[in-house]
A and B are shown apart, each in its own frame.
Chain A
Amino acid sequence: MRKLALLLFLVPGPLLADVVYLKGGGKFTGRIVEQTAERIVIDIGDGTIGFSMERVEEIVKGPSPLDEYDARASKLGPQDVNGWRSLAQWASMKGLSVQSRAAYQKVLAAAPDDPEAREALGFVRVNGAWLTEEESYRARGFVKYEGEWLTPAEVQLAQSNAAMEQARSEAEKRASDAQYAASMARQQKQEDEKRAREEADRMRNNPVYWGGWGYGVTYWPNPAGVPR
C-alpha cells in the first residue's frame, strides 16, 4: 500500500480520493483536489485544507461520501421532504455536518414546522414557538458573558470581581509614576490577554465537556478554521 501511496504522490493533478492518513494518526476524508510531491489539498465539504506531503502516511482511494451526497441531492426535488430528511440523517451518520445541515434546511424550506429538522438545526420549541438555541438560552434567563452562558447572578459576581480588580488596578496606578507606568504596562498586557481570550472565545464559545466518556479538544472545533 505504501508503494501505491508513493506512486500516487508522483501523479500530479486533481484526483478523487477518500482517506488521507497522517503519520502517527489522524486523517482527512474528502476529495483530493490538488496533489504534488510536496503538498496535498483536500476538500472536506466545508472548504479545502492543504498540508505537507511529509505528514502523509498513506492515501486510500475510494468513493467519497461527498460524491454520494451530491449524487443523492441532485435527484431530490425541493418538495421531497422525506428524501431530504433521509439524506440529512445519512450525512449526519457520516459526520458531514455541513451537508446534514444543508439537507435539513431543504426540509425546513418545504415544511417549516418539521420538528426533526428544527431540532437538528438547533431550534427549541418554547411556548409553541421555535426559538434558536441562543434565543432559548435567553428565554431561560441565561446571559452571555465572555463567551459563556451564565445566570444573571453569576454575571453580576463576575462583573463585581472584574470591577474590584479594575479598582485595585487603578489604585495601584495612582500610587506613583513608576507604579503608574508599571500599571499601564500591566493594563496593556491585560488588554492583550483579553483580546486573545476574546479571539479564543470566538473559536471556543461552545466548550466541549467530555465528562468521563472521552477526552479531546475542549472546544468545538471548526474545520473551516483549520490552517490551510
Chain B
Amino acid sequence: MSPRSGSSHRRLAAAVLVAALLPAAGALAAPPTPGAPSTRPAPSPTVDEIVGRYVVARGGIQKLRALRTLRQEGRVSAGAGRNGLVTREIKRPGKIRFEFTVQGVTSVFASDGQHGWKVSPLEGETGPQPLPDEVLIDAREQADIDGPLVDWKSKGSQVELVGREAVDGHDAFKLKLTLKSGGVLTAYVDVKSASLVRTEATRQIRGKQVRIETTFGDYRRTEGILFPHLVEVRAAGRPQLLRVVVDKVEVNPPLSDARFAPPA
C-alpha cells in the first residue's frame, strides 16, 4: 500500500471512530471508571494487511507463483431449461480460453494476450471471428491467473480500503481496485476467512451501464490453493441469476500455446 493511501485509511478510520462515538457523546462526558477495560476498537487494517491475509488464505504467494496453468470445468445455469457446460483455461502470461456448451453445441472464446478470437456456432458462426474490443479488454483482465489483488502494485493497480460491509450476513472489507487499464472493480474480502466473497464491476450491456455482482463461495483446495466452486452472477437489482458450479479444478495441466492462438 502506498503511504498516501495508508494515511487516507487512517483518516477514514479516525472519521469512522468519531462518527461511532458521536451518539455516545453524553457518555463521554462522564468520568472514566478506574480499572474499566478499554472500549477502543481494534485499529482498521491496512490494504497491505488485508491483501496479505487474503494471499495466505488462498495458499500463500509461493503456491500462487507456481501456478502456471489452470483448467476449470463446471456447469452453468441461468434458470429453467437454460443449462450448459463451461470450461475455462488460463495460462501465464495473459492467455485465456473459455468454452461454453449448450445442448451439444460448443463455442470457443480465447485470447493469447494480444489477439482475441471466437468460434461461436451458438451465434450461428462456424468460422473464426475476432473478439469485439470491449470483450477483449474483459478477456485480458480475466486472464490474470492470480486474480487482480495479488501483486497489485507491480501490476500498476491502485487499491483503496473504502469501508466494511456485510456480504450475505458476513462482515467484509470493501476494497476499491483501479486497474492499470482504468477499469474499476470493488472487491469484498471476508473479515474472518480473508476469502474474496464478492466483486462488483460496471459493464456496458446492451447500451446500458449495469452493475454486475459476482459472489464466490464453496471454497475448496486443489494442490494447496483455494478455489471457489460456486460462482453466482447477477445484475444489481435484477432477479435473474447465473450460477456456475465448478466440478473440477486442475492446477498446472499441460496447455499448449496453440489453444490460445488465433486459428490460422
Contacts and interface: CB of A to CB of B under 8 A. Distances in A.
Given A121-B81, A133-B79, A133-B80, A95 B122 contact: no
A140 B237 CA distance: 12
Interface in B78-131: 78-86, 88, 98, 100-110, 117-124, 126-128
Given A217-B107, A220-B82, A140 B239 contact: yes
Contacts of B213: 211
B235 interface: yes
A45 B185 CA distance: 40
B107 A216 contact: yes
A223 interface: yes
B122 A221 contact: yes
A189 interface: no
Question: Which of B100, B128, B263 counts the most A-chain CB atoms under 10 A from its CB?
Answer: B100
A45 B103 contact: yes
Interface residues on B, range: 35 or more
B214 interface: yes
Contact of B82 (A42, A45, A206): A206
B242 interface: yes
Interface in A77-91: none
Contacts of A44: 103-105
Given A93-B75, A221-B123, A223-B122, A216 B82 contact: no
B238 interface: yes
A226 B86 CA distance: 19
A37 B31 CA distance: 95
Interface string A151-185: 10010000000000000000000000000000000
A37 to B, nearest CB: 17
Contacts, number: 183
Contacts of A218: 205-206
B124 to A, nearest CB: 5
Interface string B124-145: 1011100000010011011000
B210 interface: yes
B78 A142 contact: no
B104 A28 contact: yes
B244 interface: yes
Contacts of B110: 25
Interface string A125-153: 00000001100110010100000111100
Contacts of A194: none
Interface in B163-203: 185, 199, 201, 203
Contact of B127 (A23, A93, A123, A211): A23
Interface in A24-68: 24-30, 42, 44-46, 49, 51-52, 55, 65-66
Contacts of B238: 148-150
B233 interface: yes
A13 interface: no
A146 to B, nearest CB: 10
Contact of B101 (A95, A120, A206, A207): A95
Interface of A: 22-30, 42, 44-46, 49, 51-52, 55, 65-66, 92-98, 100-101, 120-123, 132-133, 136-137, 140, 142, 148-151, 154, 204, 206-218, 220-221, 223, 226-227
11 contacts: A29-B106, A97-B103, A121-B80, A133-B79, A142-B239, A204-B206, A206-B82, A209-B203, A213-B214, A215-B109, A223-B103
Interface of B: 75, 78-86, 88, 98, 100-110, 117-124, 126-128, 135, 138-139, 141-142, 185, 199, 201, 203, 205-206, 210, 212-214, 231, 233-235, 237-240, 242, 244, 263
Given A22-B126, A215-B142, 18 more contacts: A25-B263, A46-B104, A92-B83, A95-B84, A95-B85, A97-B84, A204-B206, A206-B78, A209-B210, A210-B242, A211-B212, A214-B98, A214-B244, A215-B98, A215-B135, A217-B107, A221-B107, A223-B104
